[in-house]
Amino acid sequence: MPEALLERNSQSLAGREGKYLTFTLAHQEYGLEIMKVKEIIGAMEVTTVPQTPGYVEGVINLRGKIIPVINLRMKFGMEFLEHTDRTCIIVTEIHGKAGYIPMGMVVDSVSEVLNIKGEEMETTPNFGVKLDTEYILGMAKVKGKVIILLDINQVLNAEGMLLMEGLRSEESSESREDVHDYLDEEEKE
């Protein structure tokens, strides 16, 4: 590999060093930048939303805010796992055209916050096939294991925008239906 490319990769990795929240999916460790995490909550009741992809569990009401929730296992094509007492929802914000959008991700369990240094990171390996790895920031080698570092904006962005647009239009149509129901009741009286 040419020296200029190696230097650019090491500078890029050094810019990604910092604190990462680590969590597990199917016994594999993943990490996301701690600054992208708004909060971690235990599994709670999720209201399903019709006509959404299978990995979208639905929405939750978190202190008066409607937050879409996806099952990260299902998003990554893994086998479904019933929620346990260790299942968590990581609430994060993704950057979209309309600003920041809160999103929840169901994970098997949350592990810890790690301070990952640039020298502990490597770029995403080339898998030799046409494989979408845009959502992977890199790989970290910490405590003898490999942690896949995720770019949460890439993982959630398209789904978040579409789901929020769908919820907004659904809320608007529900509001219109409420007005029509009210007017119909008024006419009957």
Within a 10 A sphere around the Cβ of 66, how many other Cβ atoms?
A: 15
Give the pLDDT of residue 14: 62
Confidence check: pLDDT of 31 > 70: yes
Residue 34 token pair:
């701690």
Q: Which residue has the tokens 């294991």?
A: 145
Domains annotated on the chain, with CATH: 3-188 (2.40.50.180)
Confidence check: pLDDT of 16 > 70: yes
C-alpha 73/C-alpha 24 separation (Å) is 10
Residue 45 token pair:
């009741």
Query: What mean pLDDT is predicted for residues 49-56?
Result: 89
Q: What's the pLDDT tens digit per position in 114-159?
A: 999 988 888 877 666 555 567 888 899 998 899 999 998 888 765 5
Residue closest to 120 by CA, chosen among 148, 136, 92, 139: 139
Give the residue with greater pLDDT, 154 vs 45. 45
Confidence check: pLDDT of 176 > 50: no
Q: What's the pLDDT tens digit per position in 64-85?
A: 999 999 999 998 889 989 999 9
Residue closest to 59 by CA, chosen among 180, 151, 188, 164: 164
